[in-house]
Amino acid sequence: MKTSLIILAAGKGTRMNSDLPKVLHPIATESMLVHAMAAGATLDPEHTVVVAGHGAEQVSAAVQAYDETATVVVQEEQLGTAHAVDQARAALGDFDGTAIVLYGDTPFVSPDTLERMMGAAEGSDVVVLGFEARDPGRYGRLILNGDALERIVEFKDATEAERAVTLCNSGVVACKAGLLFDLIAGVGNDNASGEYYLTDIIALARARGLTASAVTCPEEETMGVNSRAQLAEAEAAFQARARAVLLEDGVTLQAPETVFLARDTVIGRDTLIEPNVVFGPGVTVESGATIRAFSHLEGCHVSRGAIIGPYARLRPGAELAENTRVGNFVEIKNAIVSEGAKVNHLSYIGDAFVGASANIGAGTITCNYDGVMKHHTHIGARSFIGSNTMLVAPVHIGNGAMTGSGSVITSDVEEDALALSRAPQVEKPGMARKLVAMLTAKKARMQRGS
């Protein structure tokens, strides 16, 4: 079936008490809006239309960063959900497939649920996503007659009998685009809030003799976020589900509650994750790796058999080959570390290539930035970089070469050569004792003077 997405993202989110539009607040390192777009993208939509309002420029930038083919339209006045959906009318033009209405602040509707809605839409004119609520509260209620959905009643307008219904409305709707906009044209605002409710299209459809049905999903998928407290609950819910998936897939988490994952984190089976590890966006860890405690990974790729940490930081562009070692207080950025290479202690490797089986001594730094531009460092295979070596880029260290500890390397080093660059050691007998005596006397004079 041909599909288009309409994602409502116009709300200000007053309860968030934030200058950032509500839908741009992050869960698992990415905005709620991106979560919603990513779920919808699994349907391979022909069009994605995001309806923005408050902070429209920021919302538009976030949308384009994720999907440059998406369209953003602006709801100048927030007059209700039906009015918001109607803003997508022109953007969808003569699209004759099924439109699915999603919400930028309801980030957890699953691809499986959306697939089931599309399936239901083949046999029903309008499909609504509902859920059985543990505490129905002020949710709109789905009123069924057998399997047919008769109407949706907002809590403010519901009778006591209707409020006793526990099947609640998520707001997600699937309907042929042309019919959806035709029904919206008949929606009025004669209700307790004076708004144009999208939910009214069900009664309008039924009055025309059209069919309406409900698909249900777990309540957790319909979690909306309207406050910082709910944002924290959503983060916790995402992390709990993501950790459970990893455990089921054969990843060992020694202390699952201390490991934090991004929306797109990929970790292969038989990988060991020690406590207090944080994954930023864009991380792939292959099977059989070890990520030791208190490490932070972002935008990197870790191959099979690698051991990272503890207290390691992998930044965007870090590519670690099989059986590499990155140890405590080491930072890798935009660098390839080839198979079997070791960077074990207190080092920074940035904008660099480290050859196979190279050994980088403690305290080594690739000095890659000159204040204006970044420069590249090449460290050859089987090379040995002595402790506390400064490699001033651009510089090339040949295969099998060595540098002496404490060296500042500013020129290329040929293959199998030893490079030394440090001041000669000078020793002055007895000078330490004389210096201490001089300083002690000076301190005594200062104290008498005070």
Q: Which residues are catalytic?
A: 345
Q: Is 258 exposed, middle or buried (0-12, 13-18, 19+ CB in 10 A)?
A: middle
**Distance separating the N- and C-terminal Cα atoms of the chain:** 89
Q: Using CA of residue 374, residue 347, residue 326, residue 402, what is the dihedral sign?
A: positive
Phi, psi of 353 (to 5 degrees): -125, 130
Q: Under a CB-based contact definition with an 8 Å cutoff, are residues 195 and 79 in contact?
A: yes
Count CB atoms within 10 A of the CB of residue 135. 9
Structure tokens of 32?
């709620």
Q: Under a CB-based contact definition with an 8 Å cutoff, are residues 345 and 364 in contact?
A: no
How does strand 252-253 pair with strand 148-153? unpaired
SS3 content of the chain, % helix, strand, coil (to 5): 25, 30, 45
Q: Which residues contact 257 (CB under 8 A, 6 or more apart)?
A: 243
Q: Under a CB-based contact definition with an 8 Å cutoff, are residues 426 and 406 in contact?
A: no
For residues 49 and 113, give the distance between their C-alpha atoms in angstroms, rounded to a whole number: 20
Tokens 């090339």 belong to residue: 396
C-alpha Rg value of the chain to the nearest Å: 30
For residues 339 and 356, give the distance between their C-alpha atoms in angstroms, rounded to a whole number: 5
Structure tokens of 102?
């999603």
Q: Is 435 exposed, middle or buried (0-12, 13-18, 19+ CB in 10 A)?
A: exposed
State how far Cα 21 lies from the chain centre: 17
Structure tokens of 350?
């940035």
Q: Under a CB-based contact definition with an 8 Å cutoff, are residues 168 and 130 in contact?
A: yes
